[in-house]
Amino acid sequence: MVKTLKNSILALLLLSLASSCSLFHKKQDKSTVTGWNYNDKNQGGFYVPKAKDIKTGPGLVFVQGGTFTMGASQEDVMGDWNNIPRRVTVNSFFIDKTEVANVHYREYLYWLENVFSDPQYAAVVKNALPDTLVWRSELAYNEPIVEYYFRHPAYNYYPVVGVTWQQAHDFCIWRTDRVNQIELINEGFQNKNVLKQELNGGGQENFNTKSYLMGEYQGVPGKPKKNPLKDAQGRPRTTVKFEDGILLPDYRLPTEAEWEYAALAYISANPQPRKSEKKRGEELIANKQVYAWQNDGFDNLRSTRHGAWQGAFLANFKRGNGDYMGTAGGLNDRSAIPSEVTSFFPNAFGLYNMSGNVSEWVADVYRPTTGLEEDDFNPYRGNVFKKLDVSGGEGNLRDSLGRMKYIPENDSTLRNRRNYQRSYAIDYLDGDSLSQVNYGYGITTLISDKSRVYKGGSWNDMPYWLSPGTRRYMEEDQSSNAIGFRCAMTHYGAPEGTAAKTKTGNFFPKRRQKR
């Protein structure tokens, strides 16, 4: 009798548990166009991850996009007039908190030296080395800086200089691959032993994000403990796709518009920025600033707050001829050459040294009339539209460095397109057959399709160049002791931030329309 009663109670408990499970069972995600379930092996197994914002990659800061007046913010004392003010919009993006430092670039060289240790790759490492001779001058004694600035531990976190635009571009590709590779290893989709293989002279067989996504690189698949990825039969899938939301977008050089927008950081000028869904914030820029920081409603080069720091320089620059750091016992910026990347006053986005320290490469090709020609949304000059090079056949789509091979699109296949007709857009409306405008490089101008913009002013510049609106250029295969760089990354998703609840567009309360 007692045993029967116990069995009855157990049955009731199980029935109650089953009822509660069904009551709180999560509703299956379903396609609104077919009615088929997502992530259901019995209905095709189409895997759709939850909509989420991308992670903030190592070293990056989120920059909320918006509209701003790009270009000159003070009198054009140089007479260039190559930065005519115009209103543009940039989408939200990420950018490095600091300039890339010597220790970061040495980490890059260390990886190259080990992965491409075979003598056949000697040029790979050689071509990546920064030019330390940029410190030399016929009438100055800078030999100690030539020898020690890049290598000595005292300068670990000083910005790397002597790097060409092309070297900075290649660094961004390497950084993308290392960040994504360790992401896959940490998530269990790649075996950590693959790192030992690569760093032991792996050569071409090194992880590259695009090669991995296209199936040209396999590595050593891992065994993730909790694997949400499934194939059509419901079996665990160990190969990650970009749409799974695990891999990060590419690190790259910021566009000129992105860099300038991030430097000005007008979010601090908005008196009431949005703080919640119920408080939208004002569309207002209170003051147009000259430099990368906002200082009590007006701009100057020194701190105005009362206290020990009053009068201290907010950036590393050259105050006047022969004055790089002031007088002994009262040094103004305490730095004769570049200083540590986290020194001086950050702007409202938390970015350091957007004015001063070293100027920085950006992605754009230079033209003096850029402001008159570029789009007003994500403006950029430098596009060369490419496609995958399949001439080598399947299994031979990578180059000697393990990267996918690309070639420019054929113009003949673009004739019927409405949005673009040429793959080479660097000289669009400025030196091409359509505009009938040509640059006589080396004859009437030093501007060419290899001229790249750099921004921000440096330790070796007068205050005028510290304004984010100023712009200069140098050939992409040249370098300087006053030019470094920082990386950026495209942000996917809601433009207001990286929080999971942020939305794109305005969502109003649902109300029935009045008849």
What pLDDT is attached to residue 176? 97
How many Å from the N-terminal Cα to the C-terminal Cα in the chain? 69
What pLDDT is attached to residue 396? 86
Q: How much is the average pLDDT of 262-266?
A: 92
Supply the angle between the helices 165-187 and 102-115 in degrees, to the nearest 10: 70
Give which of 381, 492, 504 is closest to 93, Cα–Cα: 492
What is each CA distance from 230 to 37, 183, 186, 237, in whole angstroms?
Answer: 14, 19, 19, 5
What pLDDT is attached to residue 272? 60
* Beta-bridge partner residues of 94: 62, 489
Predicted confidence (pLDDT) at residue 210 exceeds the cutoff of 80: yes
| pLDDT-derived band at 18, boundaries 50, 70, 90 | very low
Lowest mean pLDDT among 89-103, 198-212, 226-240: 226-240
Contact present, 299 and 325 (Cβ < 8 Å): no
What pLDDT is attached to residue 7? 57
Centre a 10 Å sphere on the Cβ of residue 418 and count the other Cβ atoms it contains: 5
What pLDDT is attached to residue 436? 55
Residue 509 or residue 336, greater confidence: 336
Angstrom distance (rounded) from CA 148 to CA 160: 12
| pLDDT-derived band at 331, boundaries 50, 70, 90 | confident
User: For 114-138, how does the pLDDT look when each residue is reduced to its tens digit (9 = 90+)?
Assistant: 999 999 999 999 999 999 999 999 9
Q: What is the 3-state secondary structure (H, E, C) of 309-369?
A: CCCCECCCCCCECCECCEECCEECCCCCCCCCCCCCCCCCCCCCCCCCCCEEEEEEECCCC
Contact present, 94 and 261 (Cβ < 8 Å): no
Residue type, 85: P
Residue appearing with tokens 């300039």: 99
Instruction: Specify the length of the chain in residues.
Output: 515
Strands (E), 457-502: 472-475, 483-484, 488-490
* Beta-bridge partner residues of 328: none
What pLDDT is attached to residue 307? 62
DSSP 38-71: SS-GGGT----PPP-PPP--TTEEEE--EEEEES
Lowest mean pLDDT among 48-62, 160-174, 214-228, 341-355: 48-62
For the domain spanning 46-379+440-490, the CATH number is 3.90.1580.10
Lowest mean pLDDT among 13-17, 238-242, 459-463: 13-17
Q: How much is the average pLDDT of 57-82?
A: 89
Mean pLDDT of the chain: 86
Contact present, 168 and 361 (Cβ < 8 Å): yes
Contact present, 73 and 110 (Cβ < 8 Å): no
What pLDDT is attached to residue 130? 98
What pLDDT is attached to residue 77? 80
Strands (E), 404-504: 406-408, 451-455, 472-475, 483-484, 488-490
Share of the chain above pLDDT 70, in %: 83
Residue appearing with tokens 């789509």: 397
Q: What is the 3-state secondary structure (H, E, C) of 431-454?
A: CCCCCCCCCCECCCECCCCCEEEE
Give which of 2, 46, 29, 73 is closest to 269, Cα–Cα: 73
Burial 305-337 (b: 16+ CB within 10 A, else e): eeeeeeebbbbbbbeeeeebbeeeeeebbebeb
What pLDDT is attached to residue 299? 57
What pLDDT is attached to residue 312? 75
Burial 203-217 (b: 16+ CB within 10 A, else e): bbbbbbbbbbbeebb
What pLDDT is attached to residue 17? 46
User: For 383-442, how does the pLDDT look when each residue is reduced to its tens digit (9 = 90+)?
Assistant: 999 999 998 887 789 999 999 999 999 999 999 999 999 999 998 887 655 555 566 666
Identity of the highest mean pLDDT range in 285-289, 414-418, 464-468, 479-483: 479-483
Residue appearing with tokens 């009938």: 436
Contacts of 487 (CB under 8 A, 6+ apart): 59, 60, 95, 96, 100, 171, 172, 175, 251, 252, 253, 254
What pLDDT is attached to residue 152? 97
Residue 228 or residue 263, greater confidence: 263
Angstrom distance (rounded) from CA 208 to CA 128: 18
